[in-house]
Amino acid sequence: MKNLIIKLLANAVALAVATWVVGGITLEGATTGRRILTLLIVAAIFGVVNAVVKPITKLISLPFIILTLGLLIFVINALMLLLTSWITGQLDVQFHVAGFGSALLGSLVITLVSILLNTLLPDKAEIR
């Protein structure tokens, strides 16, 4: 349970950095508390999308991933961010990704922040 909460918070931080760095990714909210709640909701949706849709997409596109020497994974990550933006739009959560270019840059930022956080945060075995 702690690991799930830590991953949710790490996703939220990575998404917050992406909204701060990338101009085409916006997160709206009237107050700071509302923005944090929105960010946690978006992080949860992003986690579910990455846990359910991304493995299927990677499996289907495996030959193309091999052909492009793994570069297609960046495109898949951008598509997962766009899918998250679409889902949050359907749920009336104020998170929006402007286009594919913003999604690609945002997915790179999220990946880099996630790698940094995963090196700083304890592993599953150490959390008790």
SS3 of the chain: CHHHHHHHHHHHHHHHHHHHHCCCEEECCCCHHHHHHHHHHHHHHHHHHHHHHHHHHHHHCHHHHHHCCCCHHHHHHHHHHHHHHHHHHHCCCCEEECCHHHHHHHHHHHHHHHHHHHHHCCCHHHCC
pLDDT of residue 123: 65
Q: For the chain, give the mean pLDDT.
A: 90
pLDDT of 127 reads: 46
Q: Which residues of the chain have pLDDT under 70?
A: 30, 122-128
At 119 the pLDDT is 87
pLDDT value at position 70? 92
